[in-house]
Amino acid sequence: MADFSTLARPYAKAAFDYAHEHSVADAWEDFLFIASTVVNDKSFHDMLDNPAIAADQKVSALVDLYDTQVACTEDTAFKQLLGATSAHKSADAEYPKVSAGLRNFLSQLASQERLALLPEVYEHYRRHKTQAQKQVDAYVTSAYPLTDAQRDLFQTRLAASLNAKVVLHEAVDPSLLAGATIKIGDKVVDDSMRGKLKQLKTQLMA
């Protein structure tokens, strides 16, 4: 039997083509991210494997969970998770409820017993979206949380250098002392105080 990644490819392509055509690519990505997180939970995964539960009930469980936890006015753990990982969302962003098109897509997966593929569908979907938007993921680790001005400066300079839309993924590491490191693909730029001190030590010992 083909592995999950291979099985997920056509579903991801169909999902992105539809979402891109209808200008809802970000909303679908948000849902697929949360759905992939939920499906990876053992208790929910066991529910998907239970033949006694109808396909439409499994879809409803996913949709209701998303609509309750994300597409609501309250601050929830899932909304915080999305806010930390979705570069197209601001801290006070609103998330729409699951659309009819997205629910139909889930129903197709469920009818073929493919809801367990959602984590792989999400990964392939992101690749399609990245290619379509010429999007580059930049992982910035700084000694202190970035200010809005610093964040804008990073994105502007990196976008100009890479000729692509840049999505920042931020992390804080106080051991850097000052400055930041930037990782894009397999390339790392170390502009932290810790890195500079390490370089100085190497030079002095040469």
Of the two residues 48 and 195, the one the predictor is more confident about is 48
Residue 108 reports pLDDT greater than 90: yes
Average pLDDT on 186-190 reads: 80
CA-based R_g, the chain, Å:
20
Instruction: Calculate the CA dihedral of residues 89, 92, 93, 94 and round it to 10 degrees.
Output: 160
Residue 14 has pLDDT above 50, yes or no: yes
pTM: predicted TM-score of the whole model, two decimal places: 0.63
Between 90 and 36, the more confident residue is 36
Main-chain phi, psi angles of 183, to 5 degrees: -120, 125
Domains delineated in the chain: 4-132 (1.10.520.20), 135-205 (no CATH)
- CA separation for the pair 160, 152 (Å, rounded): 12
Q: Residue 125's beta-bridge partner residues?
A: none
- Identify the pLDDT of residue 111: 93
Give the model's confidence band at 86: pLDDT under 50 very low, under 70 low, under 90 confident, else very high: low
Q: What's the pLDDT at 1? A: 40
Provide the 8-state DSSP code for 163.
T
In percent, how much of the chain has pLDDT > 90? 33
| Digit-coded pLDDT (tens) for 145-176 | 988 888 888 888 888 887 777 888 888 988 87
pLDDT for 91 beyond 80: no
In the predicted model, what is the mean pLDDT of residues 124-149? 86
Check: CB of residue 18 under 8 Å from CB of residue 53.
no
Quote the pLDDT of residue 99.
94
